Structure 1
Amino acid sequence: MPKIKVIIPAYNEQDSIANVVRDIPKNVEEIIVVNNNSTDDTVKNATKAGATVLTENNKGYGYACLKGMEYIAKLNEKPDIIVFLDGDYSDYPEELTKLTAPIINDDIDFVIGSRIKRLREGGSMTPQQVFGNWLATFLMKLFFGAKFTDLGPFRAIKYNKLVGLNMLDKTYGWTVEMQLKALKQKLTYIEVPVKYKQRIGVSKVSGTVKGTIFAGFKILGWIFKYSFKK
């Protein structure tokens, strides 16, 4: 069986993180929770649930993801697949097997968990999230012929392909950067429909005006940067 590791960025997710860790399928080799400057019991609860807990004091989604990758890069044995998952329990961690199946069975490089409307709980995505996803994926289709319909954070990718992307974004542009670079490098990719429910706690991005605006600028910035990059 392929070796799978999960990276979960977490900022003040004390009420949800243990649920996320415990619901991840047992075939996962290691669950890495990256504490991103939390001020609550996120670290305690993640550790108790059985996760490897790292700390990244620079606040930002990308910073946390890069910390997890840095840790994995130093291991003697590298995984075959990396799965990224949020710590707010809005995704269904047990669906990880659906995301990794195309990689394992069909040699696909990159899989996005698509939060399609019929599988979303009412109110689980804000109007600005829905619009932002539509706009970003529309522009990727327009400029690159992409078939993405979502920027979903629940995603799986071959480890060697992830390393080859040379990820750079430190904050909200992480997901779209990965998709744009996958397109540029002509990775094979597919979307898998996943269920989505209302998160536990308040979103640090869509739950604030500042977070929404900043995320929007970052996402559009990456798209236009790559649109004009030779």
Structure 2
Amino acid sequence: MPDIKVIIPAYNEANSIGHVIKDIPENVDEVIVVSNNSTDATEANAKKAGATVLQESRKGYGYACLKGMDYISQLPEKPEIIVFLDGDFSDYPQELEKIVEPILQRDVDLVIGARVKRWREKGAMTFPQIFGNWLATNLMKLFFNARFTDLGPFRAVKYEKLLALNMEDKTYGWTVEMQLKALKKNYSYEEVPVHYRNRIGVSKVSGTVKGAFMAGVKILTWIFKYSFK
């Protein structure tokens, strides 16, 4: 197996983070949990479960992901694949092996875990999430002839390809930025259907009106920015 590192942004996920880490396959080289200014036992529970724990005081999903990437950039040995995974236990971490399979078997650059309806627990995705995914992926299809159906956070990407994207979004637009930049660079990509369940705790994005609105604005901003570049 190649060297695979997992980055998990986590904000107050004390009740779920241990479950997430426990279910990650053993062939992963390192699990990196980035505590995004958590005030509960997220960091302690992640350490107890065997993860490397980093702290990022600036709130924002993108800030946490960038912190994880900065840590990896300073390691003497670089990984071949980076997997991004949420810390709320809504994804099934054991499905990581099928997320990375297209990279290993077919040399694909980017793989998105698509939260398909038939494998999605009732209520696991809110209406704003479902509509936002539909709108964003259809706009990408319209402007870029893309085949994406989801902006799912469970994803794998070749490390060198990830670096070449020069990721910059600090908050809600991280996932769509990655997909748009991959399209612009003509990366090969695939979607893999994954299971999705109700998260542990309340979502800080889709669980609030403000979070859902801000995420929608950020996603549309990135799409229109790249559509007219």
TM-score (norm. length: structure 2): 1.00
Q: How many residues align?
A: 229
**2:219 maps to what in 1?**
219
Q: How does 1:31-180 map to 2 (within 5 A)?
A: 31-180=31-180
Superposed CA offset, 1:67-109 (max 9, x none): 0000000000000000000000000000000000000111000
User: CA separation in 1, counterparts of 2:192 and 2:145?
Assistant: 19
* Aligned-residue identity in percent: 72
Give the superposition deviation at 1:169: 0.0
User: CA separation in 2, counterparts of 1:217 and 1:122?
Assistant: 26
**1:2 maps to what in 2?**
2
Give the superposition deviation at 1:19: 0.3
Give the superposition deviation at 1:125: 0.2
Give the superposition deviation at 1:176: 0.1
User: CA separation in 2, counterparts of 1:101 and 1:227?
Assistant: 31
User: CA separation in 1, counterparts of 2:45 and 2:188?
Assistant: 37
Report the aligned-residue RMSD: 0.3
Point out 4+ residue stretches in structure 1 off by more than 6 angstroms: none
**2:13 maps to what in 1?**
13
SS of the residue 1:119 aligns to: strand
1:192 and 2:192 correspond: yes
Amino acid at match of 1:50: G
User: CA separation in 2, counterparts of 1:37 and 1:121?
Assistant: 29
User: CA separation in 2, counterparts of 1:228 and 1:204?
Assistant: 31
Give the superposition deviation at 1:51: 0.2
Give the superposition deviation at 1:224: 0.2
**1:208 maps to what in 2?**
208
**2:24 maps to what in 1?**
24
Instruction: Give the unaligned 5+ runs of structure 2.
Output: none
Amino acid at match of 2:4: I
